[in-house]
Amino acid sequence: MGINKLWHKLDDFLDLSKQKQEKKHNKLLDIITKLEAKKLELEQKVIDESKIDDTSDKYLELSKKLNVVSNLIRKAKKHDIGS
């Protein structure tokens, strides 16, 4: 067995890419948790605002933000599955 082959076997054994994948997964989980918390908070604000005036600029702004956060969560979950 050549030295190169031996090293490749050792590299595969100590596969550093797995560690990197795990680190990325943990980061994405952290991002998703934070975004989910933000979504809950926004949902409550949208409900509260709808009781006051569901045509106000503030209501529309909050709804837009809620929609954006939901999209970001969806994309983060997609990236996490992909990793």
Residues 14-33 binding another protein (CB under 8 A) are 16, 24, 27-28, 31
Q: Is residue 76 near another protein by the rule CB under 8 A?
A: yes
- Give how many residues touch another protein by CB under 8 A: 24
- For the bound state, the minimum distance from the C-beta of residue 50 to another protein, rounded and expressed in Å, comes to 19
Distance between CA 38 and CA 43 in Å, rounded? 9
Q: Is residue 4 near another protein by the rule CB under 8 A?
A: yes
Q: Is residue 46 near another protein by the rule CB under 8 A?
A: no
3-state secondary structure 33-80: HHHHHHHHHHHHHHHHHHHHCCCCHHHHHHHHHHHHHHHHHHHHHHHH
